[in-house]
Each structure stands twice: as structure tokens, then as C-alpha cells.
């Protein structure tokens, strides 16, 4: 006997709707995580100012070489600063 005229299972669409929302939400979260991972890898190498000291030991040398190439510092200043950097890194043992 159908007391509700065939509308008794109206609530059955809820699990399907919730599952669909869960799948779409998971895809969105995955895309956001991938974009953040790609963005953090590119900004660390391009930023320079946000790089922590010691995380890229050759970055200081690269900056000095660029400044020397642009003529902002003289070769003598370059050598002095490089010697200072070597001493700070513990490699300043130049007999």
C-alpha cells in the first residue's frame, strides 16, 4: 500500500548530494595545494629578499657577481666582501 503516493524516498537524494559535494571539495583542495606548491617553489628562487641566510650559500656570491657586472662595486670591493663571507662561513683559512 502506498500511503505517500510514491514520494516516500524523497530523502534518498541527500547521500548522493553530499557525496558529490565531497568529491568536488576534494578536487578543489587538491588544486589549491598544487597551486601553492608550485608558487612556493618559484617565489623562493626568484624572491631573493625572503631567502633565509644560509639556506642558499651561493646566493650571496651570485648577488655580488651581479653587482660587480653592473659596476656597482669595484673588483677590490668584491674580493673584500667575498673574503668576509668566506670567514663568516668558516672557510677563511687562506694561508
Mean pLDDT by 10 residues, the chain (95 residues): 61 84 96 88 48 62 91 92 86 55
Neighbours of 82 (CB within 10 A): 15
Q: What pLDDT, on the 0 to 100 scale, is given for residue 57?
A: 62
Q: What pLDDT, on the 0 to 100 scale, is given for residue 25?
A: 95
| CA nearest to 91, candidates 25, 41, 83 | 83
Q: What pLDDT, on the 0 to 100 scale, is given for residue 18?
A: 92
Q: What pLDDT, on the 0 to 100 scale, is given for residue 49?
A: 46
Indicate the domain borders of the chain. 62-89
Amino acid at each position: 500500500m502506498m500511503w505517500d503516493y510514491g514520494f516516500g524516498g524523497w530523502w534518498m537524494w541527500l547521500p548522493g548530494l553530499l557525496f558529490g559535494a565531497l568529491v568536488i571539495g576534494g578536487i578543489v583542495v587538491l588544486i589549491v595545494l598544487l597551486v601553492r606548491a608550485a608558487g612556493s617553489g618559484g617565489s623562493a628562487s626568484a624572491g631573493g629578499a625572503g631567502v633565509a641566510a644560509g639556506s642558499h650559500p651561493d646566493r650571496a656570491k651570485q648577488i655580488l657577481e651581479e653587482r660587480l657586472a653592473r659596476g656597482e662595486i669595484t673588483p677590490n670591493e668584491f674580493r673584500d666582501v667575498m673574503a668576509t663571507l668566506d670567514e663568516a662561513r668558516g672557510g677563511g683559512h687562506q694561508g
